[in-house]
C-alpha cells in the first residue's frame, strides 16, 4: 500500500456472559469470525461473542488504539449509552 493509510474501526461485541468486548481492526466482520472461532482475543476463551453492537470508523491505527483504551475504561452504563447513541 504505497502511502495509503488503512481505515481502522473500533468495535464492541456483546458476549454470552452479558459483558462487552471492545477491540480495533481494519475488517470488523473478519475479526468477529476470528473471535467466534477462538482465533482472536483470549477474552473469548471463556465466553462466546454474540453480536457486534457498535462500530466506529474513520480512525488510523494510533487513534483507534486510543479510542479503544478510552472505551475500555468506561463503566457498563457508559458503554450502554455509547451503544444506544450510534
Identify whether 68 is part of a domain. Answer: yes
pLDDT digits (tens, 9 = 90+) for 55-81: 999 999 999 999 999 999 999 999 999
Evaluate the CA torsion angle 22, 23, 27, 29 in order and state its sign: negative
> Does a structural domain hold residue 3?
no
Assign 29 to helix, strand or coil.
helix
Residue 6 falls inside a structural domain: no
pLDDT at 4: 62
Within a domain: 57: yes
- Tell me whether residue 5 is in a domain: no
Structural domain for 30, as ranges: 14-85
pTM, to two decimals:
0.91
What's the domain count of the chain? 1
Instruction: List residues bridging with 21 in a β-sheet.
Output: 13
Alpha-carbon 76 to chain mean position? 15
Task: Tell whether 9 is covered by a domain.
Answer: no
Is 2 part of a structural domain of the chain? no
Amino acid at each position: 500500500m504505497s502511502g495509503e493509510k488503512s481505515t481502522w474501526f473500533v468495535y464492541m461485541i456483546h458476549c454470552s456472559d452479558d459483558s462487552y468486548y471492545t477491540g480495533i481492526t481494519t475488517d470488523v466482520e473478519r475479526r468477529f469470525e476470528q473471535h467466534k472461532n477462538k482465533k482472536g482475543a483470549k477474552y473469548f476463551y471463556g465466553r462466546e461473542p454474540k453480536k457486534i453492537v457498535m462500530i466506529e470508523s474513520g480512525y488510523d491505527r494510533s487513534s483507534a488504539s486510543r479510542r479503544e483504551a478510552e472505551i475500555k475504561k468506561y463503566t457498563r452504563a457508559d458503554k450502554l449509552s455509547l451503544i444506544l447513541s450510534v
